[in-house]
Each structure stands twice: as structure tokens, then as C-alpha cells.
């Protein structure tokens, strides 16, 4: 059993990009542990560390050397390896050369098929210390860094300039060069609280040493949790609750090494501005955490996270308050100015804003979306007039000062301005809901008008962009078509809307007729959108073959598709499922051999054998029971009833020769199978199930 030591690798740098830090840390640990595993080196727990100035990995109980490697090769039979005089044949000599030895070094081995030449070599494992430098360099080279930078006069490249590197194996420094820096055992503490070097005696001391002496909480998760607790505690002291955005929490964690929460205040008169504006300013511009009351109303306080423990916290607090005030003043001015102009009167300004050169302006797009939203609204029994009005106003807030300053508030500000103009509530709400879902896991539009507008906006974009040939390729998706497609599916399925996707796409293509002929791309756009369902269902634990079984039937209503998927998923849990899936495969092959769909008329007089008569009776009886269920889209109870066919189907295939010599008998039996298959196909092609 090889001896074991802990390994510490630390890369000390200039401030790393905060949003990339968690991924850099995770990938560095994964790549390094992968290098060790690939070399056959066993190890224990892997711990990641990441701060603005360092990436580090601590690996416990790493073997000091590789295990010995046994190389074994079997050569030619002894009978053909030597001649009558005992001289080695060409085959024996060639085998020895390929092993790098002489024939005399080969052994023989007895098997049940005779005696063979054999080569065996035990190669001692490499010392881990010799392997580590290359492994660390390989791991660093594979980090996801879009653009590497150089510094000084050297040729070394990394995400940021490197100032120190620790490579400690047990108590021993692995003396080498990493990223142009000689390795050692000295790390650095906090840039202000402890800029001096800290000497690490052993890897296991790393985190505790940095925290106790260096004023650095090196563990990202621990630092993140400390910030959360500090923010929550400070909010309670202010009589409110902290609104903690997880992405902001990650970013702040990546910006500090010694977090200190400080509460600040602002003038309560600013609360007259929509809270989303204030929140965006605090979170996006200043990286502050807003405070809300228990009722969810914004309070005139915020919490900032400082990277130093100041001897004058009041001065730091005043500085933060001073910085945010002019931003709030600007926001208040924009809010007041924007409300002087009605939203509807901004429509003409959209004519000067290009949506896409060949598809026209944003004004053109809103006119197309108006027609499509009205069509969708009528299909889901939403107010058509409100849908038209919402579509007409849908992009007007893009030319307001506040949205120009805060683009992520598009739609949100449209809702406020429309409500202030006296527009119907359904119209105002829809202006916000048109952008839902804004990201993965986001909420969906709740109102019918909002759903109609959200769908129309996305579908017009999808059809138009496909029509001009700008389909997503690889990583390039400048118009966000993947996100738009998933949004369409989520809204229809999760809001249970009985919409025909193909019909909506065709309607959108008609609306584009004045700009481009989009009719030909409708099938392609349909397939593109429906393909997004593979990931959608995969994330929900649905197996690919279930999706394939439903895809084969090409339902055009996503909600109907969803009901079929859930029905097939439930069906495959039944004890009869495997047998009936196999039977459907067999039937599909038989029908394929029969050509086209095969015979479809069943002649009862030709049902001679008991198993085929029994199967026919079951099929006819169940048909009357399940057809109404299929018509109502109740696929799950229908398939559950069809599971009763397992026994008669099994008996039929066991005892009846389908391809009988008598053509009439054969055709009649194929017709029976065709009838049976058509029942299952009302839900899905079960022959696709594995």
C-alpha cells in the first residue's frame, strides 16, 4: 500500500473576473483530479478554494506513487515459434522485438489450447512528485478562459497575471515552474489586512491559516454563507428582510476575501419611483442587497458588502450612501420625464428602430404581432381587443429614458407607463408578461392576454429569422431562438393551452408575406421548436425512447404531446408494457413487409384459429372503450385499458402463423394486426420503446 500525503496547489493572481470565478474553481479541481485519476493515483476528498486573488485545490490522501503496472502479452504458439533444431522462427523473433527483448527473455504459458510464448513485465509506478508539475500545467491549460492575457516580458498566458504559486505535497515543496513562477510554500493574505507572505507548513493548514492570520476566507462556499448570514442579520436589525438574489450573492462572494456587511440608508422620497428601478440600481450598479418589509414593500435601506474591516465603518457607510444618491436622482428624473409622454404616442418612434434589416422595423413587428396575438387570444378565449392593444404598445417603452438606462426593465416599465396612461389593467400587465419566461426557471404569464402576446412575439421572431436563413448554428444564436422556442413550449404546456403550434406558425408566415415568403419554413420551425422538448423532458426524468415514441406520431399541439408523453411514461411502468412494446415492434415489421399500411378489412369468417378469434374480440371490445378516451385526449386511461391485450397478443403470436400460405388467411391476419396497431398509435408508436 503506497504512502499518502495531502496535496495543495494555489495559484495567486491579480483580481480574477468575479462572474467567472466559481466555474474556474470548479473546473480546475475537476481537471486536476481527473489528471490524477488518469495516472492511476488514488486520493481522498477534494476541496476547492477561490477568492478574487487565488484559485486553490486541496486533495487529501494522495498516493505517493503510482501502482506498479503489469504488462502481459501472448505471442505465437511454441509449436510454430521454433524449428526442429530449437532455433527461433521469424514469428518468435518478431514477437520478441515488439516486446523490446530477446527471445531468451520470453516465457511460455500452458492453456487449454496449447503452449504459447508469453511476455510479462512489471513496470514500477512513477513517483507522484515527478508527475505533478505536468498534471497541474495540463489542468490549468484546460480552464475555460475565453481570452488569456500576457504580462511582463514573458510569453506565459493566463486569465490574470500570476504573482505566486504554491505546490505543496505533504511537508515538501515540489520545486518546479508553473505559469512562469517558481513554486514555493508562501501564500499571501488579504491585500490590506495582511499583505505579507504566510508560510504554509502542511496543506491541511491552508484554510485555517489564511483565515486566522491572513484575514481571508478562502473557501468560496463558506464565504458565501457568511455573507448571507451577515446580510440577513443586518436586515433584521433594520426591521426588514433582505432580498438576496443568488446571482448577486455569487458575484459579491467573488469580489471579497474578508466580507463585512454594512447597512446604509437613502431618502424615503425615492420610494415613489417603481421599486424595480431602485432594486436594479442597487443590485446591478452598486451590488447592494435591498431590504423589504414583511409585506414585500421596499424599505429605504440597503446592505453593502465591504472587503475590509474598517476602523471607521460610519465613513464607509456614508461613502456608499453618497454613491447611490445621484443614481437615484437620475432615475427619478427619467421617471418623471417619461410620464409626460403617453406610451401610445411613442409608437411612431419605433419606425426608426430596426428589428432586422429584411424583416423591417420594430413598428412593423408590432403590427405583425398584433394580428398574431389576436389569433392566439381567440384560440384561448382571451380578450382579442386587449391582445391587439397590448401588441400595439408592446415595444413603446423601448424608447423611454428609463428603459434606455436600464434595458432589463423593458416590459416592467411598459406596465407602469400603461397603467399611468389609464390603459386597461389586462393590457398593462401583458406588456410585462410578454417577456416571460425571461430565463430558465422563470415564471410564466398568468393572464390570457399576456400569454397571447408572449407567444405571438416569440413565434413571429422564430418564423421570420428562419425565413431569412439565420438559423441557430452551434453556439451562435444571436436572436435567442432556442430560448424563444423553449418559452413557447413552456407557456403552452405549463399553462395548459390547447393551441396548435403548426397553425400559429402558419398564421405568422402569412403575416410576414409583405416582407418575405415564410410559408416554406413552417415545417422546419415546427420541428425545431418540438426538438427542444427532448431537453425539456430529459430535465424531468423522461427517457428518450418515450419522447421518440410520441415524436413519431407528430402531434401538432404541445399540450397534447405532453399528455401523450405522460401516458406512455405511466404505461411503461405497467407489467404488461415490455411484452406489448415487443409485440408492437413485431407488428411494425410485419406491416412494413406487407407494404404501405397493409390490409385493413377484417373478415370474421376467415378467423379460423381460437387465438385469432380471441384477439379479434378483445380488439373490438376495447376499441369501443378507448376510442372516446383518445378523442378526449385521455391517453393514460386509454393505454391502461389496452394493457389488457397482453395475454391475447402473446397467445396469438405463440400459436398463429401470420404469414400463412393461404393469401386470404395471411391478409386477414395482417389486417387484424393493423387494427391492433392503429389503437396503440392513437397515443404513440410503442415500437420505439426500448
CATH number at residue 379: 1.10.3210
Q: Given pLDDT bands bounded at 50, 70 and 90, which one contains residue 175?
A: very high
Q: Given pLDDT bands bounded at 50, 70 and 90, which one contains residue 95?
A: confident
DSSP strand pairing (157-158 vs 149-150): antiparallel
Structure confidence by residue, pLDDT tens digits, 268-310: 999 999 999 999 999 998 999 999 999 999 999 999 999 999 8
Average pLDDT over residues 424-443: 95
**Which of 321, 338, 355 lies at the terminal end of a domain, its last residue?**
338
Structure confidence by residue, pLDDT tens digits, 114-163: 788 888 877 787 899 999 999 999 999 999 998 899 988 888 999 999 99
- The answer to whether residue 490 sits within a structural domain is yes
Structure confidence by residue, pLDDT tens digits, 455-469: 999 999 999 999 999
- The answer to whether residue 566 sits within a structural domain is no
Structure confidence by residue, pLDDT tens digits, 223-266: 999 999 999 999 999 999 999 999 999 999 999 999 999 999 99
Alpha helices for 468-557 (secondary structure H): 481-494, 501-511, 522-538, 544-551
- 89 plus 29 within the same structural domain: no
123-134 burial by CB neighbour count: b if 16+ within 10 A, else e?
eebeebbebbbe
CB atoms inside a 10 Å sphere around CB 155? 7
The CATH number covering residue 588 comes to: 1.10.730.10
114 CB-near residues (< 8 Å, 6+ apart): 77, 78, 79
Q: Given pLDDT bands bounded at 50, 70 and 90, which one contains residue 599?
A: low
511-540 burial by CB neighbour count: b if 16+ within 10 A, else e?
bbeebbebeebbeebbebbbebbeebbeee
475 CB-near residues (< 8 Å, 6+ apart): none
Q: How far apart are alpha carbons 26 and 57 in whole angstroms?
A: 9
Q: Do residues 188 and 197 lie in contact, with contact meaning Cβ atoms separated by under 8 Å?
A: yes
The CATH number covering residue 19 comes to: 3.30.70.260
DSSP strand pairing (181-184 vs 162-169): parallel
Query: Could you give the number of structural domains in the chain?
Result: 5
- 205 plus 232 within the same structural domain: no
Q: How far apart are alpha carbons 690 and 680 in whole angstroms?
A: 16
Q: At residue 195, what are phi and psi to the nearest 5 degrees?
A: -70, -10
How much is the pLDDT for 677?
86
Listed range (46-50, 145-149, 305-309, 668-672) with the worst mean pLDDT: 668-672
How much is the pLDDT for 1?
54
- The answer to whether residue 408 sits within a structural domain is yes
Closest CA to 550 of 565, 567, 530: 565
- The answer to whether residue 547 sits within a structural domain is no
- 31 plus 148 within the same structural domain: yes
Measured in residues, the chain has a length of: 690
**Which of 310, 338, 366 lies at the terminal end of a domain, its last residue?**
338
- 360 plus 417 within the same structural domain: yes
How much is the pLDDT for 482?
94
Model pTM score:
0.82
- 240 plus 257 within the same structural domain: yes
Q: What is the mean pLDDT of the chain?
A: 92
Structure confidence by residue, pLDDT tens digits, 485-531: 999 999 999 999 999 999 999 999 999 998 899 999 999 999 999 99
How much is the pLDDT for 72?
79
Q: Do residues 275 and 298 lie in contact, with contact meaning Cβ atoms separated by under 8 Å?
A: yes
Residue 186 CA neighbour count, 13 Å, CB half: 8
- 398 plus 523 within the same structural domain: yes
Query: Is the pLDDT assigned to residue 480 strictly greater than 60?
Result: yes
Average pLDDT over residues 407-413: 96
- 24 plus 45 within the same structural domain: yes
- The answer to whether residue 560 sits within a structural domain is no
- 372 plus 434 within the same structural domain: yes
Place of cell 502479452: 73
- 373 plus 520 within the same structural domain: yes
Average pLDDT over residues 327-346: 96
How much is the pLDDT for 616?
86
- The answer to whether residue 324 sits within a structural domain is yes
- 60 plus 146 within the same structural domain: yes
Query: Is the pLDDT assigned to residue 628 strictly greater than 70?
Result: yes
- 667 plus 520 within the same structural domain: no
- The answer to whether residue 96 sits within a structural domain is yes
CA 61 to chain centroid: 34
Q: Which three cell numbers stand for residue 600?
A: 385493413
Q: Given pLDDT bands bounded at 50, 70 and 90, which one contains residue 2?
A: low
Q: Given pLDDT bands bounded at 50, 70 and 90, which one contains residue 600?
A: low
Q: How far apart are alpha carbons 8 and 11 in whole angstroms?
A: 10
Q: Do residues 96 and 103 lie in contact, with contact meaning Cβ atoms separated by under 8 Å?
A: yes
Place of cell 389609464: 422
Q: How far apart are alpha carbons 674 and 596 in whole angstroms?
A: 11
Query: Is the pLDDT assigned to residue 344 strictly greater than 60?
Result: yes
Query: Is the pLDDT assigned to residue 89 strictly greater than 90?
Result: no
How much is the pLDDT for 672?
86
**Which of 271, 303, 338 lies at the terminal end of a domain, its last residue?**
338
How much is the pLDDT for 606?
84
- CA 247, 250, 251: angle at the middle one, nearest 5? 90
Q: Which domain holds residue 253?
A: 220-338
Q: Do residues 602 and 531 lie in contact, with contact meaning Cβ atoms separated by under 8 Å?
A: no
How much is the pLDDT for 200?
97
How much is the pLDDT for 369?
97
How much is the pLDDT for 409?
96
How much is the pLDDT for 544?
93
Query: Is the pLDDT assigned to residue 71 strictly greater than 80?
Result: no
441 CB-near residues (< 8 Å, 6+ apart): none
- The answer to whether residue 561 sits within a structural domain is no
- 241 plus 169 within the same structural domain: no
Residue 612 burial (C-beta neighbours within 10 Å; 0-12, 13-18, 19+): buried
More confident residue, 63 or 577: 63
Q: Which residues pair with 7 in a beta bridge?
A: 59, 169
Average pLDDT over residues 352-358: 93
227 CB-near residues (< 8 Å, 6+ apart): 249, 252, 253, 256, 259, 261, 305
Amino acid at each position: 500500500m503506497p504512502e499518502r500525503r495531502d496535496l495543495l496547489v494555489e495559484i495567486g493572481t491579480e483580481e480574477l473576473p468575479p462572474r467567472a470565478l466559481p466555474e474556474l474553481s470548479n473546473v480546475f479541481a475537476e481537471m486536476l483530479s481527473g489528471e490524477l485519476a488518469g495516472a492511476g493515483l488514488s486520493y481522498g476528498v477534494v476541496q476547492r478554494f477561490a477568492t478574487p486573488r487565488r484559485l486553490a485545490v486541496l486533495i487529501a490522501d494522495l498516493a505517493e506513487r503510482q501502482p506498479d503496472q503489469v504488462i502481459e502479452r501472448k505471442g505465437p504458439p511454441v509449436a510454430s515459434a521454433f524449428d526442429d533444431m530449437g532455433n527461433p522462427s521469424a514469428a518468435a523473433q518478431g514477437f520478441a522485438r515488439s516486446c523490446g527483448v530477446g527471445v531468451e527473455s520470453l516465457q511460455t504459458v500452458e492453456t487449454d489450447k496449447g503452449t504459447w510464448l508469453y511476455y510479462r513485465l512489471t513496470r514500477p509506478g512513477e513517483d507522484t512528485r515527478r508527475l505533478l508539475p505536468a498534471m497541474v500545467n495540463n489542468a490549468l491549460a484546460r480552464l475555460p478562459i475565453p481570452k488569456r492575457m500576457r504580462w511582463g516580458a514573458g510569453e506565459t498566458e493566463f486569465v490574470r497575471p500570476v504573482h505566486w504559486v504554491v505546490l505543496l505535497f505533504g511537508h515538501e515543496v515540489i520545486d518546479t515552474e508553473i505559469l512562469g513562477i517558481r513554486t514555493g510554500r508562501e501564500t499571501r493574505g488579504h491585500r490590506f489586512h495582511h499583505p505579507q507572505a504566510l508560510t504554509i507548513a502542511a496543506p491541511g493548514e491552508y484554510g485555517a491559516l489564511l483565515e486566522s492570520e491572513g484575514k481571508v476566507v478562502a473557501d468560496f462556499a463558506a464565504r458565501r454563507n457568511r455573507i448571507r448570514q451577515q446580510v440577513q442579520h443586518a436586515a433584521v436589525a433594520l426591521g426588514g428582510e433582505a432580498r438576496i438574489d443568488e446571482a448577486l450573492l455569487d458575484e459579491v462572494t467573488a469580489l471579497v476575501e474578508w466580507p463585512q456587511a454594512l447597512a446604509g440608508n437613502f431618502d424615503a422620497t425615492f420610494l415613489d419611483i417603481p421599486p424595480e428601478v431602485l432594486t436594479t440600481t442597487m443590485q446591478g450598479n452598486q451590488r447592494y442587497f435591498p431590504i423589504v418589509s414583511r409585506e414585500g414593500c421596499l424599505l429605504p435601506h440597503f446592505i453593502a458588502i465591504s472587503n475590509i474591516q474598517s476602523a471607521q465603518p460610519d465613513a464607509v457607510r456614508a461613502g456608499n450612501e453618497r454613491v447611490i444618491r445621484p443614481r437615484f436622482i437620475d432615475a427619478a428624473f427619467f421617471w418623471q420625464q417619461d410620464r409626460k409622454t403617453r406610451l401610445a404616442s411613442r409608437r411612431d418612434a419605433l419606425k426608426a428602430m430596426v428589428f432586422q434589416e429584411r424583416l423591417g422595423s420594430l413598428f412593423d413587428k408590432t403590427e405583425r404581432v398584433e394580428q398574431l396575438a389576436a389569433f392566439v387570444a381567440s384560440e384561448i378565449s382571451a380578450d382579442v381587443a386587449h391582445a391587439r392593444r397590448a401588441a400595439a404598445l408592446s415595444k413603446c417603452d423601448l424608447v423611454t429614458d428609463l428603459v434606455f438606462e436600464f434595458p432589463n426593465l423593458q416590459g416592467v416599465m411598459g406596465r407602469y407607463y400603461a397603467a399611468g396612461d389609464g390603459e386597461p389593467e389586462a393590457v398593462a400587465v401583458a406588456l410585462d408578461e410578454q417577456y416571460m419566461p425571461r430565463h430558465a426557471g422563470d415564471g410564466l404569464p398568468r393572464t390570457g392576454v399576456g400569454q397571447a402576446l408572449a407567444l405571438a412575439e416569440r413565434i413571429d421572431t422564430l418564423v421570420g429569422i428562419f425565413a431569412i436563413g439565420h438559423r441557430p448554428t452551434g453556439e451562435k444564436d444571436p436572436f435567442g431562438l432556442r430560448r424563444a422556442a423553449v418559452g413557447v413550449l413552456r407557456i403552452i404546456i405549463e399553462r395548459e393551452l390547447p393551441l396548435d403550434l403548426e397553425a400559429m406558425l402558419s398564421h405568422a408566415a402569412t403575416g410576414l408575406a409583405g416582407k418575405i415568403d415564410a410559408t416554406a419554413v413552417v415545417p422546419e420551425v415546427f420541428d425545431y421548436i418540438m426538438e427542444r422538448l427532448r431537453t425539456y423532458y430529459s430535465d424531468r426524468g423522461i427517457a428518450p425512447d418515450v419522447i421518440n415514441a410520441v415524436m413519431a406520431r407528430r402531434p401538432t399541439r404541445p399540450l397534447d404531446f405532453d399528455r401523450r408523453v405522460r401516458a406512455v411514461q405511466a404505461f411503461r411502468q405497467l407489467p404488461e408494457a415490455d411484452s406489448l412494446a415487443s409485440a408492437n415492434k413485431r407488428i411494425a415489421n410485419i406491416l412494413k413487409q406487407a407494404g404501405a399500411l397493409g390490409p385493413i378489412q377484417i373478415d370474421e369468417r376467415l378467423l379460423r384459429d381460437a387465438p385469432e378469434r380471441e384477439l379479434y374480440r378483445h380488439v373490438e371490445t376495447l376499441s369501443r372503450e378507448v376510442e372516446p378516451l383518445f378523442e378526449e385526449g385521455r391517453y393514460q386511461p386509454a393505454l391502461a385499458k389496452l394493457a389488457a391485450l397482453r395475454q391475447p397478443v402473446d397467445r396469438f403470436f405463440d400459436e398463429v402463423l401470420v404469414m400463412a400460405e393461404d393469401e386470404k388467411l395471411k391478409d386477414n391476419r395482417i389486417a387484424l394486426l393493423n387494427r391492433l396497431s392503429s389503437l396503440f398509435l392513437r397515443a404513440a408508436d410503442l415500437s420505439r420503446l426500448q
